[in-house]
């Protein structure tokens, strides 16, 4: 497929969370690993917003970090526009790096407090050697203008701005290398709702204007619903469902997706009936065998406790649940009349 910009195949990341060597020897413990992601595969098409949702421990930020090269995958492959991303090959990566950018969660930490806003925004321009001299200044002014600030703000320091304004600065910086793809890691979760609306609207406008492709990482289903074309739902490091955004909310396929939707507070006071949510996310160091969701699942079967369900195609995308696998088998075994 030519319209795929980013494809991720079998992405796995394990963290060594063992105690120091000496402690292990004395306490006779084995090495311990935390599996943040296991066998995650998805594709992002050009111009779309693909969202990854999940609660804490779902490994959504780990995926974001692997895609932009902040973390090395333990296994699996990431392809950007058909090219395998190998962050250890400097020269090839330099060209690729310019084409993707990242926006972070905390606008109070993502801007160096000792740098002027202009220098922060210009850093990618200098690093990739895109412009020099007075042109840089002009470009920074244009970018600031683009995100709703003024060119004069380039001379100020980050602490002079509010959270929303800082996130605008972060966006201007991300745009300065003229990327095609932006990873947005919880871009509004540190902001107040009225400011969140400004930032989300801005992100959409920029997407329309420049044909950007977004990977949106979020824990907030309403934000994801508002922004994304397609959504991947993560639970304990695995993708349990990928679906078209509109349909995911109407006909969730995986029991976890359903539970997640039921947990969202009902702001419309529609009085929709909801199944009460039960249980908590297990410790990712020691996840349950089989389907990780089985201890909380209302439809749990024997097979769920033993075997990790493979993804199957659904009406709206794909999902990994034995219930769906059973359905499919049944359909396949039905004699064709």
225-284: contacts with another protein (CB under 8 A): 225-226, 249, 259-270, 276-278, 280-281
* Phi-psi category of residue 100: left, alpha or beta, with phi > 0 → left and psi -120 to 50 → alpha: beta
CB of 277 to another protein, least distance (A): 5
In the bound state with another protein, the residue whose beta carbon lies nearer, of 163 and 326, is 163
Of the listed pieces 2-10, 220-228, 311-319, 323-331, which binds another protein according to CB under 8 A? 220-228
Q: Is residue 305 helix, strand or coil?
A: helix
| CA distances for 41 relative to 10, 241, 278, angstroms | 5, 11, 28
CA distance 210 to 175: 10
Q: What residues contact residue 84 under an 8 Å CB cut-off, 6+ apart?
A: 77, 78
Of 5, 11, 136, 216, the one binding another protein (CB under 8 A) is 136
Of 83, 222, 306, 313, the one binding another protein (CB under 8 A) is 222
Residues 152-211 close enough to bind another protein by CB under 8 A: 154-155, 162-165, 170, 173, 177, 192-198, 200-201, 204
In the bound state with another protein, the residue whose beta carbon lies nearer, of 192 and 328, is 192
Residue 319, H or E segment: strand 317-319
In the bound state with another protein, the residue whose beta carbon lies nearer, of 278 and 306, is 278
Of the listed pieces 23-31, 34-42, 93-101, 316-324, which binds another protein according to CB under 8 A? 93-101
What does 80-125 look like in DSSP terms, one character per residue?
Answer: ETTEE--TT-HHHHHHHHTTEEEE-S-TTTSS-TTS-HHHHHHHHH
CA distance 4 to 125: 27
CB of 294 to another protein, least distance (A): 15
CB of 313 to another protein, least distance (A): 25
In the bound state with another protein, the residue whose beta carbon lies nearer, of 162 and 306, is 162
91 near another protein, judged by CB under 8 A: no
CB of 29 to another protein, least distance (A): 19
Residues 19-58 close enough to bind another protein by CB under 8 A: 55-56
What does 143-161 look like in DSSP terms, one character per residue?
Answer: HHHHTT--GGGGGS-GGGS
Number of residues binding to another protein, judged by CB under 8 A: 82
């Amino acid at each position: 497929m030519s319209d795929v910009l980013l494809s991720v195949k079998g992405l796995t990341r394990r963290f060594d969370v063992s105690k120091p060597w000496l402690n292990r020897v004395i306490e006779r413990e084995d090495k311990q690993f935390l599996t943040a992601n296991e066998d995650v595969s998805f594709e992002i098409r050009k111009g779309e917003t693909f969202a990854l949702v999940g609660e804490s421990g779902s490994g959504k930020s780990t995926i974001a970090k692997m895609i932009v090269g902040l973390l090395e995958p333990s296994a699996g492959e990431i392809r950007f526009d058909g090219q395998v991303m190998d962050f250890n090959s400097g020269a090839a990566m330099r060209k690729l790096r310019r084409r993707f950018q990242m926006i972070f969660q905390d606008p109070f930490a993502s801007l160096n407090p000792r740098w002027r806003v202009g220098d922060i925004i210009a850093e990618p321009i200098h690093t990739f050697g895109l412009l020099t001299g007075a042109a840089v200044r002009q470009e920074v002014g244009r970018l600031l203008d683009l995100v709703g600030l003024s060119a004069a703000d380039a001379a100020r320091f980050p602490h002079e701005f509010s959270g929303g304004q800082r996130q605008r600065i972060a966006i201007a910086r991300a745009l300065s290398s003229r990327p095609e793809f932006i990873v947005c890691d919880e871009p509004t979760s540190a902001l107040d709702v009225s400011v969140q609306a400004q930032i989300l609207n801005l992100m959409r406008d920029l997407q329309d204007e420049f044909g950007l492709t977004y990977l949106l990482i979020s824990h907030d289903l309403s934000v994801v619903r508002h922004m994304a074309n397609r959504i991947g739902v993560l639970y304990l490091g695995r993708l349990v469902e990928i679906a078209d955004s509109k349909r995911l909310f109407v006909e969730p396929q995986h029991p976890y997706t359903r539970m997640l939707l039921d947990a969202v507070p009902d702001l419309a006071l529609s009085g929709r009936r909801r199944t009460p949510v039960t249980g908590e996310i297990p410790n990712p160091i020691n996840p349950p065998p089989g389907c990780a969701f089985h201890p909380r699942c209302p439809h749990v079967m024997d097979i769920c406790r033993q075997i990790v369900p493979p993804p199957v195609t659904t009406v709206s995308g794909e999902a990994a649940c034995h219930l769906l696998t059973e359905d499919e088998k049944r359909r396949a075994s039905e004699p064709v009349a």
